[in-house]
Amino acid sequence: MPDVQDAHGAQGDPLTLNAALVGRTYPSTPAYVVGREKVREFATAIGDLNPAYHSVEAARALGYSDVVAPPTFAFVVAYAGSSQAAMDPELGLDYSRVVHGEQRFSYARPIVAGDSLIATATIEAIRSVAGNDIVTTRVELATEAGEPVVTTTTVIVSRGTAEDPS
């Protein structure tokens, strides 16, 4: 259930973000076709030499149709969805003040090269803690046919935006 806030956050700090957007779901993104080379490049960039991320043969030996994406690759696809929420003018977020707070992934199955995925974002919570506004978004990644693949949860902190209550 979404963490609905009134005009004050968890510690009584006034929110500067529009808490009325908690629960808002944004339109699904256009399909992102997962490319074999993108998976390989991502795995190389994070220093993961798992053969299933680089070799079609190694992935097929594990029962996959193509190379498997490392778990954090989901953020590449989910970013378009979470950006819809963060950049929503109604939210009132100054993105220049944002730092990444947390990222979680819950997989139904691994992402494989050739998948065509759509991302659907929802604002789960908005709260204020110690003068900072905190936004939690959930992005559901699914195939175009509707098969769930992974849910990402992102927490971002907008530093020092909440008004000082004194």
Q: What is the CATH number of the domain that holds 132?
A: 3.10.129.10
Is it the case that residue 27 has pLDDT exceeding 70?
A: yes
pLDDT of residue 42: 98
pLDDT in tens, 76-125: 999 999 999 999 999 999 888 899 989 999 999 999 999 999 999 999 99
Give the number of domains in the chain: 1
Range of the domain at 75: 19-33+69-158
Domain membership of residue 59 (yes or no) is no
Which class for 145: exposed (0-12), middle (13-18), buried (19 or more C-beta within 10 A)? exposed
pLDDT in tens, 116-158: 999 999 999 999 888 899 999 999 999 999 999 999 999 999 9
Domain membership of residue 98 (yes or no) is yes
pLDDT of residue 125: 96
Domain membership of residue 10 (yes or no) is no
Domain membership of residue 145 (yes or no) is yes
pLDDT of residue 8: 45
Average pLDDT over the chain, rounded to whole?
Answer: 89
pLDDT in tens, 31-75: 999 999 999 999 999 999 999 999 999 999 999 999 999 999 999
Domain membership of residue 5 (yes or no) is no
Q: Half-sphere exposure of residue 78, counting CA atoms within 13 Å on the CB side?
A: 24
Domain membership of residue 119 (yes or no) is yes
Q: Strand (E) positions, the chain?
A: 32-33, 98-107, 116-129, 132-143, 148-158
Domain membership of residue 44 (yes or no) is no
pLDDT of residue 163: 52
Domain membership of residue 51 (yes or no) is no
